């Protein structure tokens, strides 16, 4: 059974969360508005994330990582997202998708080569989606032609998070489209590989400092040694990695919800109407209480899924539920917080409009809410 009691956060884990959050308030918060306006991540922050160890949480110590738990990565993502969701998702994709795929599927030679890079300075990206392949992920059209000691990749990828700054890419391509999903293979592609090109950067509603790019491959030469896992088994790499990634998105949404609630609660204590702070009005109190309850429930779902993953227990259903409910919570809480700010909530002078915009993506990427419902139903009903 995967229904286990939730384990509370240990003192060390709480210290980790608090340390990351304090760093985020000091280093990220002053830059957040400008990064959103400019649609660009501050390079010094990425350098900080590597130096602080945030980018190699689960990477073994012998390769320069922290050798920590998946749950620790979830806490870091949440703490960063509480201040800026773009920073949260940058760290999230690098850890829960790229590092985990390398940890679970990389050969000893690939791990020895790329883990030190992923831990110490080279940002990773995960390349599955295509113009005609979204929720139907295995309808991808990027191909990989076997040339003996190398493969030639041809095609394009869309909606690639971290695409602009990333130097290492996990790319999914099909060695034989007639085989369907059984031809899909995962490859590690370096930024400098011949035939690999970065395309246009998307102009997005939210998480605007997080780069989202289109990528193209024109006879991109990838060494056979850079196959991640087995040839024709890339669909397993994709499915299992995304199951973990959903928990990461859930933690991002929990961070966004907490950030919006923090701002909202503080504002209602300062805003005076009819001669007293609006926080004294029962209607306002009840609204905040509802939002707090929804946030707490979502946080526990995310933590539970992460604990199950670390324990080696089944967690696919729990991960889908965590992402589904956390994204619903974030949308609801940020909307409610914006409304309690009144007209000021609609202004960029205050942070809640950004939390509101950043929250919307939670229902869309790394599996839409509809796909999470499909996953849950399949497991529950059979």
CB atoms within 10 A of CB 1: 5
Distance CA(244)–CA(224), nearest Å, equals 26
Strand partners, 171: 127, 187
Distance CA(72)–CA(79), nearest Å, equals 11
In the set 42, 318, 353, 366, the catalytic residue is: 366
Distance CA(152)–CA(235), nearest Å, equals 19
Helices (H) and strands (E) in the chain, counts: 12, 10
126, 238, 250, 291, 298 from 371: Cα distances, Å: 19, 15, 15, 25, 18
Q: Rounded to 5 degrees, what are φ and ψ at 180?
A: 65, -140
Distance CA(173)–CA(154), nearest Å, equals 8
Distance CA(83)–CA(33), nearest Å, equals 11
Distance CA(281)–CA(273), nearest Å, equals 10
DSSP secondary-structure letter at 195? T
| Dmax (CA) of the chain | 79
Distance CA(37)–CA(34), nearest Å, equals 5
For residue 108 the two structure tokens come to 């000893």
Strand partners, 196: 217
302, 303, 377 from 315: Cα distances, Å: 11, 11, 14
Residue 366 annotated to the active site: yes
Residue with tokens 């992460």: 306
Distance CA(331)–CA(308), nearest Å, equals 26
Taking a C-beta distance cutoff of 8 angstroms, is the pair 44, 29 a contact? Answer: no
Tell me the catalytic residues: 366
């Amino acid at each position: 059974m995967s229904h286990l009691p939730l384990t509370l956060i240990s003192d060390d884990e709480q210290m980790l969360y608090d340390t990351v959050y304090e760093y985020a308030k000091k280093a990220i918060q002053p830059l957040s508005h400008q990064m959103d306006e400019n649609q660009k991540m501050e390079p010094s922050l990425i350098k900080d994330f590597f130096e602080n160890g945030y980018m190699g949480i689960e990477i073994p110590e012998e390769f320069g990582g922290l050798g920590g738990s998946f749950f620790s990565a979830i806490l870091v993502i949440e703490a960063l997202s509480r201040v800026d969701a773009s920073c949260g998702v940058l760290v999230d994709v690098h850890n829960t998708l790229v590092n985990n795929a390398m940890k679970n599927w990389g050969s000893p030679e690939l791990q020895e080569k790329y883990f030190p890079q992923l831990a110490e300075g080279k940002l990773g990206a995960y390349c599955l989606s295509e113009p005609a392949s979204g929720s139907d992920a295995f309808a991808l059209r990027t191909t990989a032609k076997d040339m003996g000691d190398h493969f030639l990749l041809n095609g394009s990828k869309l909606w690639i998070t971290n695409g602009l700054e990333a130097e290492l890419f996990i790319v999914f391509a099909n060695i034989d489209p007639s085989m369907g999903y059984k031809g899909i293979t995962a490859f590690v592609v370096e930024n400098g590989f011949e035939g690999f090109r970065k395309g246009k950067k998307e102009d997005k509603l939210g998480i605007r400092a997080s780069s989202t790019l289109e990528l193209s491959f024109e006879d991109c030469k990838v060494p056979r040694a850079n196959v991640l896992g087995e040839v024709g088994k890339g669909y397993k790499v994709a499915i299992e990695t995304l199951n973990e990634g959903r928990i990461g998105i859930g933690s991002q949404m929990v961070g966004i919800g907490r950030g919006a609630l923090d701002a909202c609660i503080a504002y209602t204590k300062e805003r005076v109407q009819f001669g007293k702070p609006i926080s004294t009005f029962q209607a306002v109190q009840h609204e905040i209480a509802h939002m707090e309850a929804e946030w707490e429930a979502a946080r526990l779902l995310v933590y539970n899924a992460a604990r199950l993953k670390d324990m080696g227990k089944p967690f696919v259903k729990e991960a889908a539920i965590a992402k589904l409910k956390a994204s619903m919570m974030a949308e609801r809480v940020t909307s409610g917080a914006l409304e309690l700010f009144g007209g000021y909530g609609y202004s960029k002078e205050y942070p809640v409009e950004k939390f509101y915009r950043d929250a919307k993506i939670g229902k869309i990427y790394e599996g839409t809410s509809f796909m999470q419902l499909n996953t849950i139903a399949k497991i529950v009903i059979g």
